[in-house]
């Protein structure tokens, strides 16, 4: 059974930082793409960022580019998202997700419906 467990969310003031983690079991990240989505209250889910274990390529949504940094650890089968300069509009539930179809990260990944999802972790940024 594939399981993704996200953690690291919390309450932070605008301008602050948080680091999200996602640990995957039942699925080897080696040679696959994994990333983050988020869903704010009353809004549709949006892709945030992805990373490829095959070539290390990354992709970011324009809304987080330059502020967020994604990284992975294949040995730990884990994924991270360092979020800096947080804004109130970053408030959302953040989900890690992956799909066996993908090998490379691209903008298209951010709009794809993944096979495997974590339960999410809530990030709240106060103004």
pLDDT at 113 over 90: no
Q: What is the dihedral of CA 99, 103, 107, 111, to 10 degrees?
A: -20
60-107: per-residue pLDDT in tens?
Answer: 999 999 999 999 998 999 999 999 999 999 999 999 999 989 999 999
27 pLDDT more than 90 = no
**18 and 9 in contact (C-beta within 8 Å)?**
yes
pLDDT given at position 4 = 95
Q: Pull the structure tokens for residue 17.
A: 């930082």
Per-residue pLDDT band at 31 (split at 50, 70, 90): confident
Question: What is the average per-residue pLDDT within 114-121?
Answer: 93
């Amino acid at each position: 059974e594939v399981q993704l467990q996200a953690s690291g969310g919390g309450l932070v003031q605008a301008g602050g930082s948080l680091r999200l983690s996602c640990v995957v079991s039942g699925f080897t990240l080696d040679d696959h793409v994994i990333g983050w989505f988020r869903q704010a209250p009353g809004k549709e889910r949006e892709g945030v960022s992805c990373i490829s274990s095959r070539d290390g390529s990354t992709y970011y949504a324009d809304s987080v580019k330059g502020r967020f940094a994604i990284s992975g650890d294949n040995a730990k089968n884990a994924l991270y998202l360092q979020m800096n300069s947080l804004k109130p509009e970053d408030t959302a539930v953040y989900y890690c997700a992956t799909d066996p179809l993908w090998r490379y990260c691209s903008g298209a990944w951010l709009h794809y419906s993944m096979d495997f999802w974590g339960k999410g972790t809530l990030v709240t940024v106060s103004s």
